[in-house]
Structure 1
């Protein structure tokens, strides 16, 4: 039996807390025994007012046992407010030994990292927060594409729904894979969902700069043979200057942007079941289906066929 303490603070995202409670308590019910002893804790043991609810706590943070997994549900995307609003938790985390079991859901990885508990460890968080996380915590081995990471006694999940992926991982370990699949089925949740790359946008927001005309032109002509000199000519600058501007404004090379633009167009095309993969590959600029499929999987986290199957499943759902 694994004791789990869910930490609740004013920034706690109610849906994240609910997912963790539902997943672990459902596992207990379906297993017919207590695989997880779950309780809510707060800084001082008092009830915590959230935006839409008031959450009771069964214990104070200081009462969390040494063998208890402290799991911190998501705490929103306002990182400065989250860090400033949890001095008691950060002080407690900084005192914990490396063997203490600690976990975070979504944005709460920032709390573990701020306390130094993720230094040298693999971790993940929501894909949209990855750049800020890397800037703040360069000692952490961030795997932004991962839905879940486990490194020693440190558990992390990325994205709001990925908290349930982490819970299913715990359920599989303590109750078996069959039970984890059963919990996922009851909750109408896809087990083994792959990576966050399936959900993150391929393209950054277009900058308000002199690159905008070039980006508009690329969107209209992405399927044509285009190389760096051709793009530099359109932008009225040298290739070296264009490379520098792309890195500064978009964080990638012009060719990387072009490939992502083509994959974004392919995602749209895959919604049409009448268009073959060969046809789609040609339409977005690839003569070789295999090269197209390999790059699609690299950037999107799954094969074109798997993406189409998942998309058609969603479209067919009532």
Structure 2
């Protein structure tokens, strides 16, 4: 229960004040902390412009809290009256990690274990929980995502699938909402996460105005930003197939030909591709074609028909359909993005 000074009016059915607890571990990504503060502060200001009380009161917790309190406080003044209130929302800040080994090491630290206990208790109380990028691993480790849909950063998706098979991972999605849990993709997807939270608690009008004030475009998929070569690099056989395929895209490749280029039997190749990239061989080949098609759209004036031919499609309609599904837009959208 919030203190009386924090419980305010309501706006079109949305509670006017939510206690948000920002969990910051040591080594947190500064941008995720700043993004959280800036978006929530903007939502509060937009509410104030409508003559309404602030929507969010924020406190900072966790092993890295001391180092960022001044940053958060500069845009969201601290409110002592919420110090002991149960949070309505917990947001876990992303961590600076660039290798799978670094993620494992970070999950093994004592402060991460404490965070897992905090998240498990909060989930049991019905608290809304949100995270993006590598921070989604903390939610999964706490059991918060068991049986739920979620997303995480594209480059950690294969590792996430191996570690948490009980979670239904949608690695292409920018933001996934499942009940009281919201997850988002790679680091800058934290912006999309925060807009989803603002929409949930303030309504679409405030969320849309936040996006406009902050010059944010809606992005439903992170697949366009995936670097397939980075994922493939985890397995030398997959690297061999990838390099060969990039040079042969126009020839109408088959999965069997890819496997042969990798020096593997088709079934073995499928297992290796899935482990390295989280994709099936067909999806792997489609992603290679999409990457090349987007590159040609962005850097040349070639017709869609010619680009389709260069990436192995006889019909441009097939390429258009694939681009809309995998890259989030048609050729014209991507060429002028």
Query: Which blocks of at least 5 consecutive residues in structure 2 are unaligned?
Result: 1-16
Name the CA distance, whole Å, in 1 between partners of 2:237 and 2:138. Answer: 38
5 Å matches for 1:290-309? 290-309=317-336
- Of 159, 166, 171, the match for 1:132: 159
Q: What's the TM-score once normalised by structure 1's chain length?
A: 0.81
Displacement of 1:108: 1.1
Residue-by-residue CA offset, 1:191-216 (whole Å, 9 max, x unaligned): x2111112112454357756766654
1:244 matches 2:263: no
Structure 1 pair 275/185, CA: closer, same or farther in 2 (3 Å)? same
Displacement of 1:19: 0.3
Aligned position for 2:4: none
Aligned position for 2:292: 265
Alpha carbons 1:76, 1:82 under 8 Å: kept: no
- Of 42, 48, 63, the match for 2:66: 48
5 Å matches for 1:1-318? 1-32=17-48, 33-42=53-62, 47-49=65-67, 65-77=85-97, 78-85=102-109, 86=111, 87-96=113-122, 97=124, 99-190=126-217, 192-203=218-229, 204-206=231-233, 209=236, 215-227=242-254, 241-251=264-274, 255-272=282-299, 274-310=301-337
Name the CA distance, whole Å, in 1 between partners of 2:179 and 2:239. Answer: 45
Displacement of 1:101: 1.7
Q: Which moved more, 1:71-80 or 1:90-99?
A: 90-99
Residue-by-residue CA offset, 1:165-218 (whole Å, 9 max, x unaligned): 12112222333323222222222221x211111211245435775676665443
Name the CA distance, whole Å, in 1 between partners of 2:227 and 2:177. Answer: 25
Name the CA distance, whole Å, in 2 between partners of 1:193 and 1:27. Answer: 20
Structure 1 pair 256/156, CA: closer, same or farther in 2 (3 Å)? closer
Query: Which blocks of at least 5 consecutive residues in structure 1 are unaligned?
Result: 311-318
Aligned alpha-carbon RMSD (Å): 3.1
> How many pairs align?
300
**Larger helix share, 1 or 2:** 2
Q: What's the TM-score once normalised by structure 2's chain length?
A: 0.77
Displacement of 1:20: 0.6
Residue-by-residue CA offset, 1:231-268 (whole Å, 9 max, x unaligned): 67767x7xxx5313422433356554443332222111
Name the CA distance, whole Å, in 2 between partners of 1:151 and 1:262. Answer: 31
